[in-house]
Structure 1
Amino acid sequence: MERVVRLTLLGLLLAFGTAAPIKEDWDIYSFHINSTVTSRYATTVITSRVVNRVDAPKEIHFQVRIPKNAFISKFRMRIEGEMYDGVVKAKEQAQQQYTEAVSRGESAGVVSSVGRTLEEFKTSVTVAALQKVTFELTYEELLKRTLGKYELQIHARPMQPVKDFKMDVYINEKPGITFVQVKGGLSTNALANAITKTHAQNQAWVHFYPTEQQQIMCDSCGEQGMNGDLVVAYDVNRDASLGDIKVSGGYFLHHFAPSGLPGIPKNVVFIIDRSGSMHGKKMHQTRLALLHILGDLAEEDYFGLIIFDSSVSTWKRELSQANSENLAAAKEFARNIRDAGATDINAAVLQGAEMLTRNPRNGSASLLILLTDGDPTSGVTNLERIQDNVRKAINEKYPLYCLGFGFDVNFEFLEKMALENNGVARRIYEDSDADLQLRGFYEEVANPLLTDVIMVYVGVTNLTKTNFSQYYNGSEIVVAGLIDNNTETFTPRVVALSKSIKMEFETEKDSRLESTGTISDHHLQRVWAYLTVKQLLDKELQLSGAEKENVKKEALELSLKYSFVTSHTSMVVTKPPGENTQVLHKPKEGPSRHVTHVIESTPKVTTRVFAASSPVRRKMQKTKSHHRPSSDSFRTFAMDYADYDESADDLTTTTKAPRTSQVPLHHKFLLGAENQTIPLCYDVSAKHLKLLQDPDTGLSVYGKLRRSLQGGLQKIVIYYKTDQRIEVNTNSITVRDGQHVKAFHWGQDHVTAGSVTLILRDNEMDVSIGDTRIVILLHQRKGEKLLWPVLRQFPSGNNTVGILVAKPAVYSILQETSVSARLSIHNIEVIALRTSAVDYSITSAPTLDCWSVSPELALQRELSDFLVTQS
């Protein structure tokens, strides 16, 4: 499925730190955005010129957001007449340069950010007194058509009014431009007359030149200048023929989007997750979207509804016609969907595939739409096995679209499963408009026009993807390739089905394809490279072993050749001598919308042990461990629930390991690594944990694990000396000081009990005991509460033991694949599988990758040293 992707520049920031710029310190005297769109391929250049107006060096920050689908291809800075260019390298080489900078004591950063559709690039440089700096960033993207239009969206926020502020958009489309619209918050009221739009057959120009006064007077403006959107939407002329084909310099580019075709009736099965994690707003928004979608079905359509948790239920066993009677009954069914239970994705999708396979209709288009917010936790839970089962059941007969609700879902698993079945995966963000996101996705696939589309070319090589399961109204199919010899041997043709009727699209007899005189050879070549790299990265996700490595190598070579910053390359941001070295990575899809990793010039020790939400691979957010303790360093721990025994409610200081028969629990712990970005993880069967024990001060801390898929602790008990005990659960806090017992609740503010000081906030509790400081976080995850301890200040004693003070791991990677690695841990070689973890030590609780090993190997001591039993 082809869909529109907005070409977006959000948050065009030039700021000193996070504060608003002070005009007397430095000034952006010129800020230009120039975007050129030719044959739907956009090249955008952002140029910002800044002057340091004070008689002292000043650090200037440059920050800009770009679309996720875009590849940065160039970045440079001009300082005092010297040009400093960023260089795209293989990620390993770039990371080595980054690491070397850290080892020399220099500041180095990996800077990237993720939002709904955005990534972030930012850097900084020190500008000498009264000197200037010019930043220039270039990125490239192929616009995708959705619902009959392309959109170029720019969000301007320079952080101050700029005297010379210009946005210039130039669009050149050979078939002719049918319409051009300018909209967004920056196109109305006070700024409306700052926009000039010109449209002349196959070209269009949009200029946006607001004055300094206009930049502070518009609806979304202020003393810090503009903060809003400018959106340019357009489409091109289309007909029912072969489409738009361009040939230049040995390359061709084919845009296929025929119009005037009759719609095809569809068979659609909606598979809705109703597990407990869908509780509350998610379920409400899903019901709203489903009711709207059902109302949009045409009477010639057939549909099915499947809801699942640990079991699978269907509204009706067979597909039902979308007549008024059935729709009314289906809507009533949808209104009564309630959340409960675990998540059996395998059984649900197989049930949907069986329903479509059992009810074939000639002349129709079938599709499956899966909506889930979690990982498989019931039935078949092995991800590769689920993907294999689904692939065999669908057998390339129709596409599967996977919608991942929120960030707890394993999006990579859904993405691979969708790609393997000719569909796409889309993340639905947990915002107020989630129901609109669901409905918007459905609208993209609601009107199939062709099925089994095959793009056929004679006399070409190195083709991008040529087979497409369905073509939808308002979308577009794009293919590029290299022509063997000349245009006379190049013969394009498209074969497809429309209501089971074979259709062929081809050039008219005696017509010849001529090279275009308006598009450079360089342009079509870059479009081909962009498409090829994108599709290789998708293909890599689906493969394993030698095939995966070959595809990865091909994607890397093309990325380096065309200077694209992709998942296999990074840009080394070079700067003047003495300045910081930075490495820009293409960020992965992950839970954090703004992630910035910086290694400071003065190393600090930060050892983290992360918790897993389920044993599956995740996209990784990188962290870095350092080497010297400091007062603000912390260590924390985590676990993953699999089974639980609720007996025994108290916690004691007994140090014997529990008997496995008494405590059939299975938890996954993760341990931060001192010299690697990915922590280790290990499995433990236990109930009660020794978190910290300091014989010198008489301080002991114990934790009781929760019975929940979310993991975490349900109780933490702190003993101090012989007469003080603090018991913390998710609802209240009890403090015993000798014979005196007091009860408190979260959010009660400052409390002093003997030699213990508590600061109680809504979701955080600060405990100070002697020279030790522990922060206990209260998380709410999928409607459940859990506790998490973070050691902020270590005891001064030398005999302290426990989970919280476990030493970071030291290991090296000898060989690595996407799912496993051969590691050397303290000179012991071991095969480790890649799984995942949730870091509950911070409020946002990001999900991280980890390598699974034995607990003894990870901890370098007996596991029983960290366990306690009931007295």
Structure 2
Amino acid sequence: MKTKLALALLALLFWFLLPEAAKADGIIVPEPPICEPGPCPPVPFPMAQLEIRYHHVEVTIADQIALTRVDQVFYNPNDWTVEGTYIFPIPADAAITDFTLWVDGEPVQGEVLSAEEARRAYEQIVRDLQDPALLEYADRGAVRARLFPIPPGGERRIQLEYSQALTAENGLVRYVYPLNTEKFSAQMLEEVTISVDLRTNQPIRAVYSPSHAIAVSRAGDFHVTAGYEASNVRPDTDFALYYSIGESEALHLLTYRDPADPSDPDGFFLLMLAPHPRAESQPQPKDLFIVLDRSGSMEGEKFLQAQQALKYILAHLNPQDRFNIITFSTGISMYARNLRPAEEGNEAAAWVDRQSAVGNTDINRALLEAAAMTQPGHPAYLIFLTDGLPTEGVLQSEQIITNFDQAAPENLRLFAFGVGYDVDTYLLDSLAQAHHGGSEYILPGQPLDEAVSAFYAKISTPVLTDLQLDFGEIPVYDIYPNPLPDLFAGSQIVVTGRYRGSGTTDITLSGLVNGQTQTFTFPDQIFITAAQEANNPLYAAIPRIWATRKIGYLLNQIRLQSPQQELIDQIVRLSIRYGIVTPY
């Protein structure tokens, strides 16, 4: 008996100390291999990890009750059978109301451990294995179940389902899934997906994950889906999703100070802005200019897709919008001499179908024609599509930028789409940055019409333009994005920055609505001190989010200007401190 126990402990100890030791988001603690009949392998056992084929998580949230379904497949690459105990750490703030565990489709009896019971289980494993890693979860409860033996080359599918009540604080609801236990696996996971279906009885405002890059899709005011997907990765951070609900404009502030870094006492903040949920029913009228390259290089599939994109935009104008279309090659053609009402969309679509691609590329003249047509009073947007360099008229990029800067009114926003490899990225990026817009590049083979249509769907309904934020008595700096973009219906803006000092202040958001200044005040926003910081590991992601934004800004400055050593040094310092890969 003593020999068997010693053998078991040696096996478990070796398993934990191996760099290949694997645990999943549910942690598997194996027992000595089943090697009867026949001799056991020599001690210590060469226990390669159980490989994880995939890890899928489906979350359904209905009025702050979250149902989480976990689906994993484990593979045994060893020459012997492996069995053990499956432990799933429950999120620290979760109140589990029910759970079900299946193994290969069959229900398995398990037990829910309280935080105290789980702590004793973790501590026992630590004492046996001399590995303190599990103590990270000592303040959490757990689900525990016996794992059926997995034969050599065999698989086990484990499915776990549990529900929990989510709490709201100042209108902001947080959901957390314990994904960070995957960091114990030395092997990359083949596939990780998390999908969230969110439904509420109040309008959903901001939806954001500070931990992972998610795609968000809105099916209406009360229904949002979000998803994260990756392959060949080793997750090391819990998945966190924040969302807000309510009937008014939303502003949510998260702040963090790093207590472990006395050399940098300033704090970091992340601010989420979302418009009024009924904003879409009262859209601001906008003026839209579409400037399309129809030079010879656009001939073929590119031009056909551009025509499809233009027709999509024309079919989705708001009733009070005005528009015009300018196509350019060696010369320019305009649908009309001035802005036309949205009801002419069908006529304009027929005009677009009659255009063809031929000639050179006079970018300067086309942009100046659009600027000259822009009228003050409400938002104006210029969508610029081109696949090449200027070959007609003004050829120097710097001169084109200067000419447009002098001609364009302040209310004109420019969004550029570059198609193919021969685009003047310096020209497009400079124009977009100077005029509160953005630039996007479509590689050969990628669908241009889908990219343009998806972009227009986002900016079709402006709610607040020329945004300004006032943080009251709290000094703030290094705010990104800079300048702030316009706020559109169904969208949100995430702002990051640094702050000095601490305390409670009112944050004021101002902007233009139909040419008139409108102000929103959000009182009693708290900027914490280091002493107030509760070391929330989710908030600890805020500094890296800020650093990523700043590095992106600095890289853009280098791309638009000649490389300056001061900018490069800043990028290197930030990349080393926050572990962000850059070209430098």
TM-score range, shorter-chain basis?
Answer: 0.5 to 0.7
1:563 CA drift (Å): 1.1
Query: Which residue is equivalent to 1:252?
Result: 269
- 1:494 and 2:479 are equivalent in the alignment: no
Q: Is the 8 A contact 1:272 1:308 kept in 2?
A: yes
Q: Is the 8 A contact 2:507 2:521 kept in 1?
A: yes
Query: Per the alignment, do residues 449 and 203 of structure 1 end up closer, same or farther by CA in structure 2, a change over 3 Å counting?
Result: closer
- 1:562 and 2:578 are equivalent in the alignment: yes
Query: Which residue is equivalent to 1:288?
Result: 308
Q: Given the alignment, which residue of 412, 421, 438 partners 2:435? A: 421
- 1:338 and 2:356 are equivalent in the alignment: yes
1:27 CA drift (Å): 9.8
Query: Which residue is equivalent to 1:305?
Result: 325
Report the AA paired with residue 285 of structure 2: P
Q: Is the 8 A contact 1:452 1:470 kept in 2?
A: yes
1:527 CA drift (Å): 2.3
Q: Helix, strand or coil for the counterpart of 1:399? A: strand
Query: Per the alignment, do residues 173 and 477 of structure 1 end up closer, same or farther by CA in structure 2, a change over 3 Å counting?
Result: farther
Q: Mapping of 1:545-624 within 5 angstroms?
A: 548-568=564-584
Query: Which residue is equivalent to 1:473?
Result: 489
Report the AA paired with residue 254 of structure 2: K
Q: Mapping of 1:504-543 within 5 angstroms?
A: 504-508=519-523, 519-520=536-537, 522-543=540-561
Query: Per the alignment, do residues 179 and 263 of structure 1 end up closer, same or farther by CA in structure 2, a change over 3 Å counting?
Result: farther
Q: Helix, strand or coil for the counterpart of 2:494? A: strand
Determine the C-alpha separation between the residues in 1 that align with 2:518 and 2:158: 51
Q: Given the alignment, which residue of 405, 409, 425 partners 2:419? A: 405
Q: Helix, strand or coil for the counterpart of 1:377? A: coil
1:278 CA drift (Å): 1.3
Determine the C-alpha separation between the residues in 2 that align with 1:236 and 1:288: 36
Query: Which residue is equivalent to 1:386?
Result: 400
Q: Is the 8 A contact 1:460 1:481 kept in 2?
A: no
1:442 CA drift (Å): 1.2
| RMSD (CA atoms) | 4.3
Determine the C-alpha separation between the residues in 1 that align with 2:428 and 2:312: 24
- List per-residue Cα deviations over 1:291-341 (Å, max 9, x = no partner): 221111123111111000011121112111212xx3232122111011110
- List per-residue Cα deviations over 1:345-391 (Å, max 9, x = no partner): 111112111111xx33x2x2101110111121111122222223223
Determine the C-alpha separation between the residues in 2 that align with 1:282 and 1:483: 47
Q: Is the 8 A contact 1:420 1:542 kept in 2?
A: no
Q: Is the 8 A contact 1:31 1:164 kept in 2?
A: no
Report the AA paired with residue 441 of structure 1: F
Query: Per the alignment, do residues 402 and 292 of structure 1 end up closer, same or farther by CA in structure 2, a change over 3 Å counting?
Result: same
Q: Is the 8 A contact 2:269 2:499 kept in 1?
A: yes
Determine the C-alpha separation between the residues in 2 that align with 1:322 and 1:341: 30
Q: Is the 8 A contact 1:256 1:478 kept in 2?
A: yes
Query: Which residue is equivalent to 1:836?
Result: none
- List per-residue Cα deviations over 1:171-203 (Å, max 9, x = no partner): 9996446999xxxxxxxxxxxxx9997979999
Report the AA paired with residue 420 of structure 1: A
Between structures 1 and 2, the one with greater helix share: 2
When normalised by structure 2's length, the TM-score is: 0.57
Query: Which residue is equivalent to 1:327?
Result: 345
Determine the C-alpha separation between the residues in 1 that align with 2:429 and 2:490: 23
Q: Is the 8 A contact 2:74 2:156 kept in 1?
A: no
1:430 CA drift (Å): 4.1
Q: Is the 8 A contact 2:468 2:510 kept in 1?
A: yes
Q: Helix, strand or coil for the counterpart of 1:462? A: strand
Determine the C-alpha separation between the residues in 2 that align with 1:310 and 1:49: 62
- List per-residue Cα deviations over 1:731-765 (Å, max 9, x = no partner): xxxxxxxxxxxxxxxxxxxxxxxxxxxxxxxxxxx
- List per-residue Cα deviations over 1:370-426 (Å, max 9, x = no partner): 011112111112222222322332254321100112333233432232122221111
- List per-residue Cα deviations over 1:543-570 (Å, max 9, x = no partner): 346xx443332222111111100232xx
Determine the C-alpha separation between the residues in 1 that align with 2:463 and 2:198: 30
Q: Is the 8 A contact 1:283 1:339 kept in 2?
A: yes
1:435 CA drift (Å): 1.8
Query: Which residue is equivalent to 1:266?
Result: 286
Q: Given the alignment, which residue of 437, 449, 455 partners 2:451? A: 437
1:486 CA drift (Å): 1.4
Determine the C-alpha separation between the residues in 1 that align with 2:198 and 2:300: 48
Query: Which residue is equivalent to 2:391?
Result: 377
Q: Helix, strand or coil for the counterpart of 2:248? A: coil
Q: Helix, strand or coil for the counterpart of 2:487? A: strand
Query: Per the alignment, do residues 455 and 317 of structure 1 end up closer, same or farther by CA in structure 2, a change over 3 Å counting?
Result: same
Q: Given the alignment, which residue of 16, 27, 52 partners 1:30? A: 52
Report the AA paired with residue 422 of structure 1: H
Q: Is the 8 A contact 2:208 2:241 kept in 1?
A: no
- 1:459 and 2:474 are equivalent in the alignment: yes
Query: Per the alignment, do residues 195 and 463 of structure 1 end up closer, same or farther by CA in structure 2, a change over 3 Å counting?
Result: closer
Report the AA paired with residue 255 of structure 1: M
- List per-residue Cα deviations over 1:142-185 (Å, max 9, x = no partner): xxxxxxxxxxxxxxxxxx996579999999996446999xxxxx
Q: Mapping of 1:80-99 within 5 angstroms?
A: none
Report the AA paired with residue 474 of structure 1: G
Determine the C-alpha separation between the residues in 1 that align with 2:241 and 2:269: 25
Determine the C-alpha separation between the residues in 1 that align with 2:423 and 2:329: 14
- List per-residue Cα deviations over 1:451-495 (Å, max 9, x = no partner): 11012224223331354252112222222223311123x442211
Determine the C-alpha separation between the residues in 2 that align with 1:540 and 1:416: 12
Determine the C-alpha separation between the residues in 1 that align with 2:286 and 2:525: 36
- List per-residue Cα deviations over 1:553-596 (Å, max 9, x = no partner): 2222111111100232xxxxxxxxxxxxxxxxxxxxxxxxxxxx
Report the AA paired with residue 240 of structure 1: S
Determine the C-alpha separation between the residues in 1 that align with 2:579 and 2:74: 24
Q: Helix, strand or coil for the counterpart of 1:463? A: strand
Determine the C-alpha separation between the residues in 2 that align with 1:469 and 1:436: 22
Matched residue pairs, number? 382
Q: Mapping of 1:125-140 within 5 angstroms?
A: none
Q: Given the alignment, which residue of 268, 272, 276 partners 2:296? A: 276
Q: Is the 8 A contact 2:208 2:242 kept in 1?
A: no
When normalised by structure 1's length, the TM-score is: 0.39
Q: Is the 8 A contact 1:279 1:339 kept in 2?
A: yes
